[in-house]
Structures are given as structure tokens and as C-alpha cells.
Amino acid sequence: MLGYEGSGCARCALKEALELCKTLGDRLVIAYAYEPPGRLAGEEFAEHRLALREVGERMTAEALERARAEGVEAEVELVDERPAEGLRQLGFKHDARMIVVGTQGESPLRSAILGSIPHKLLQVAERPVLVVPPDD
């Protein structure tokens, strides 16, 4: 399973996930988890949620197209949940061999203090997590 949001580091993670799927003969679940910030309410919250979902649909469509072009069986899952928790849930739902995510290359201290999705995912996931660094 791949946590994907279209960034450069997510594209690096996609490349790694596709290679793993080809090597292992696995299918790929391309996952996008989203939840608007907690301070929004009512109609503003609903509009923000819809906008985030639309972004996720566009981003994951690109990844799905690339997977299929490389001969990897793939599907997309969007989940209305905080990213780390959403990826954890989807990993469980699909009995994923592992969850692959990219990282921006943050320092460990910055990641621990501010909280990055890969860092949070490492704390909550019940399955292996592969964190792929940027290729620069």
C-alpha cells in the first residue's frame, strides 16, 4: 500500500512501491487520507473536505495511471481521516504487506516535534512501514 499525495517525495515512494510490486507480484493500493483542519465548522468544513477529496482524486489518478502503464495491478482508496490514522486503517483493511510513504527529508528533531505523517505512521501502524527519502 502506498500513501500518496502527489509531492516529489510521494513520487519517489511511488517509484519504490512499483518496483516492490513488480518484484513481489503484489497489487498496489494507492491511498490518500485527508481531513480538514479542526477549527473549521459547518458549511466551511464540508467545502474544505470536498476540496481535499477532489485534490486526492486528481493526485491518485496520476499514480494509478503510472502503475497501470508499468503493468502493476492497482486501485485507489480515499479515506476521510487524518493521514496516519487513515493509512493505518487502510493497511489493516487490505492486509497490506507494508505501507510505503515518502518523506521530505526533515530532521528527526523537527519531525518528532512538529509531527510528520511518516513519524506518526511508524507509531500507529500494525504492519511494516517503508519510508522512502527524496532522491535528490
Global confidence as pTM: 0.86
Can you tell me the distance from the alpha carbon of 39 to that of 107, in angstroms, rounded to the nearest whole number? 28
In tens, the pLDDT along 17-71 reads 999 999 999 999 999 998 766 655 677 777 888 898 999 999 999 999 999 999 9
Q: Is 108 exposed, middle or buried (0-12, 13-18, 19+ CB in 10 A)?
A: exposed
In the chain, the domains with their CATH numbers are: 2-132 (3.40.50.620)
Nearest to 101 by CA among 110, 88, 113: 88
In tens, the pLDDT along 58-105 reads 999 999 999 999 999 999 999 999 899 999 999 999 999 999 999 875
Nearest to 63 by CA among 75, 53, 55, 52: 75
